[in-house]
């Protein structure tokens, strides 16, 4: 699968964003080592701080399916939600700090440097960074004495 196809899956996932408070829709798509794709979108709450990011939703879904060890790449996109319900924007969306740490949990399991594709809502701009570049000196299981 190309990164453009994974970004397309992330863009499609924004259709179900529940973001009435920020008005900012985010979609994430995980690529597994067997070619399957798992998606997620942001899930906001009237108690704002409870909001779940798209990446976290996708990773928790992968975990619930027993697929956390299979994650090899992630695509993220997002932007303001228009009156038509579609998101727009030409700037890549980068994962927030908490999501970088969440991605690191999957990466640590298999010692894979997960590729993170940061894409604009229109899908025209895509930047790929290995997780180690976005989260250098990460805290992980090794710091707890675990492999």
With beta carbons less than 8 A apart as the criterion, state whether 10 and 27 touch. Answer: yes
Q: Where on the phi/psi map is residue 11: left (φ > 0), alpha (ψ -120 to 50), or beta?
A: alpha
Neighbours of 127 (CB within 10 A): 12
Active site residue 105: no
CA–CA separation, 63 and 77 (whole Å): 21
- Interface residue with ligand THU among 6, 7, 8, 26 (CB under 6 A) is 26
For residues 9 and 54, which CB has a smaller minimum distance to ligand THU in the complex?
Answer: 54
For ligand THU, the binding residues in 81-120 under the rule CB under 6 A are: 95-96, 99
Phi, psi (degrees; rounded to nearest 5) at 76: -135, 140
Q: Look at the block and give the residue holding tokens 């805290």.
A: 139
Q: How far is the CB of 64 from ligand THU (least distance, A)?
A: 18
Phi, psi (degrees; rounded to nearest 5) at 115: -80, 130
For residues 32 and 79, which CB has a smaller minimum distance to ligand THU in the complex?
Answer: 79
The active-site residue, picked from 55, 73, 105, 133, is 55
- Interface residue with ligand THU among 6, 10, 11, 24 (CB under 6 A) is 24
Binding mask 51-80 for ligand THU (x = CB under 6 A): x-xxx-------------------------
- Interface residue with ligand THU among 8, 19, 81, 134 (CB under 6 A) is 19
Binding site for ligand THU (CB under 6 A): 19, 22, 24, 26, 42, 44, 51, 53-55, 95-96, 99
Active site residue ranges:
55
């Amino acid at each position: 699968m190309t990164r453009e196809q994974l970004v397309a899956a992330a863009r499609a996932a924004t259709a179900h964003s529940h973001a009435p408070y920020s008005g900012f829709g985010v979609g994430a798509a995980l690529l597994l080592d067997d070619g399957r794709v798992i998606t997620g979108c942001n899930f906001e709450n009237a108690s704002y701080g409870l909001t779940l990011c798209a990446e976290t939703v996708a990773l928790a879904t992968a975990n619930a399916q027993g697929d956390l060890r299979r994650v090899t790449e992630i695509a993220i996109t997002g932007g303001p939600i228009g009156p038509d319900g579609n998101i727009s924007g030409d700037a890549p969306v980068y994962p927030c700090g908490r999501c970088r740490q969440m991605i690191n949990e999957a990466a640590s399991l298999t010692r894979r440097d997960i590729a993170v594709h940061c894409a604009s809502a229109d899908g025209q701009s895509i930047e790929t960074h290995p997780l180690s570049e976005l989260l250098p000196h990460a805290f992980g299981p090794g710091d707890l004495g675990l492999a």
